[in-house]
Amino acid sequence: MRTMFLKLFFWFWLAMTLSGIVIFLIAFNMRIGPMHAQFERRYSVERARVVCEALALYGHTAAGIYEKYGELATRNFVRHGEPHGMRAYLFSTNGTSLSGPAPLHLHKAVQQLLISGVSDIVFDKGIVSAAVLVKSPRGKIYVAAAEGVPPIPPPRVLLQGWPFTGGFWFRFCVTFVIGGLVCYGLAWHLTSPVRQLRAAAQRLGTGDLTTRVSINTKGRGDEVTDLVRDFNRMAERIEKLMLAQKQLVRDVSHELRSPLARLNVALGLARRTASSAAAAPLDRIEQEAERLNVMIGELLTLSLLESDSARFEKESFDLSEVVDEVIQDADFEAAGRNRRVKFEATGPLMMAGNREMIRRALENVVRNAVRYTAEGTAVEVTLEALSNRAVIRVRDYGPGVPEDVLQHIFRPFYRIAEARDRQSGGAGIGLAITERAVLLHSGEVQASNAPDGGLVVEFRLPLS
């Protein structure tokens, strides 16, 4: 139970179930306690009194019919005039039934009444058996006996006997299921904004700065609502800051192009009039101007790739040819540094996209590998197809990258401590361009350290 939803659901459900069991047991304790026993005794006495009164009145009427109309009329009266569902009979004082055949246990009840003179009333599982003495309109004594459902309903008690019976388990299961449904709805209601907030945070983390959490906060007014509003304000602020930063980079890059062009013109004029002693400083100025020009070009490229309007024409091309072109150029440059670049491919691999963009992305990585691999070693580049995706691996034998900064090397302007001098480390823009170009082609790029030293950069690009 690692999620908030499961924790809320389980603990609410457990609390409701235990509460139901406790209430159930308390009610059972009241059922068998002295208060309930006293109530049962009072209720039984009242019920017996009502039954006796009803039977006495019925017997008085039956005795009058017998004396006036005879036994046949009495039988008809008994057959069609059952009092409140009870089957009644009229007996003489010698125990003879005057209204037709009667059950044996009623004959016994009549004999017991005639011997003891006390009305005999028995309640057995809701069925009443009773016998009372009655006096006819002429003053003669008879016995009225009856059996059947009592004229008033039995008391409704919560439990009967030991609680853990079939009825108990049925009620327990119903309570358990209903409680589970209620807790499920409650947990879902409480955690739904949190799930939406988590999904929005993930989208924001992937670079979608327009992400906002849209939930119905009407009627909530709780801490979750405040959290959602704070998140939306934070996302809006981040979006504005990032847009301002990108706009600043674009503006600065464009503005630097004009003075840089004038600097190159002035440099050319200075070479015409300068002496041979000024050649070395002018060469250094030209070198730095060219480096600045490359940096500005990379900034503009990165700004274009990160803009919302980044679009490109797709074409079908052989990825292995693009990789081979990059390898040939890089190997030529590496030869002058006592390094090599090796390439292995499984064959032609066709993909749809922007050929130049992919070439530029791969070239940035290969040039970095040539720059950092040890002298006398070769940068190894492989290309293969795995599950409809092209996998390109560039592996060097340099110092590698600290594990804690591997996930940051594709960020713009990020440079690790060992490469802070611009002569070797650049400005930290090339790998950012690589990642953005790969993402625009629905691919992915990641870096890892090789077990025996060096850095491995892996591209995964979809094939057409």
Alpha-carbon distance 258 to 265, whole Å?
Answer: 11
* CA angle, 327 then 441 then 246, to 5°: 100
Per DSSP, 350 falls in state E
Residue 21: Cβ within 10 Å count: 15
Alpha-carbon distance 459 to 382, whole Å?
Answer: 10
Identified catalytic residue from 105, 189, 254, 441: 254
**Token output for 305:** 């790739």
- DSSP states of 33-98 as a string? SHHHHHHHHHHHHHHHHHHHHHHHHHHHHHHHHHHHH-HHHHHHHHHH--GGGEEEEEE-TTS-BS
- CA distance to 67, 73, 318, 394, 407, per residue, from 443 (Å): 110, 103, 16, 16, 17
**Token output for 373:** 């691999």
Alpha-carbon distance 68 to 136, whole Å?
Answer: 10
- CA distance to 11, 115, 149, 277, 374, per residue, from 132 (Å): 61, 12, 17, 145, 120
Do residues 183 and 12 lie in contact, with contact meaning Cβ atoms separated by under 8 Å? yes
- DSSP states of 118-185 as a string? S-EEEEETTEEEEEEEEE-TTS-EEEEEEEES-SSPPP--S--SSSSSHHHHHHHHHHHHHHHHHHHH
To the query of whether residue 408 is one of the catalytic residues in this protein, the response is: no
- DSSP states of 306-346 as a string? HSTT-----EEEEHHHHHHHHHHHHHHHHHTTT-EEEEEE-
**Cα torsion at 9, 15, 20, 21 (round to 10°)?**
120
**Token output for 212:** 């906002």
Residues 6 or more apart from 451 whose CB is under 8 A from it? none
Residues 6 or more apart from 215 whose CB is under 8 A from it? 192, 193, 196, 228
Instruction: Identify the burial level of 347 via C-beta atoms within 10 angstroms of its C-beta, where 0-12 means exposed, 13-18 middle and 19 or more buried.
Output: exposed
**Cα torsion at 18, 20, 26, 32 (round to 10°)?**
-120
SS3 397: coil
For the annotated catalytic residues, the residue numbers are 254
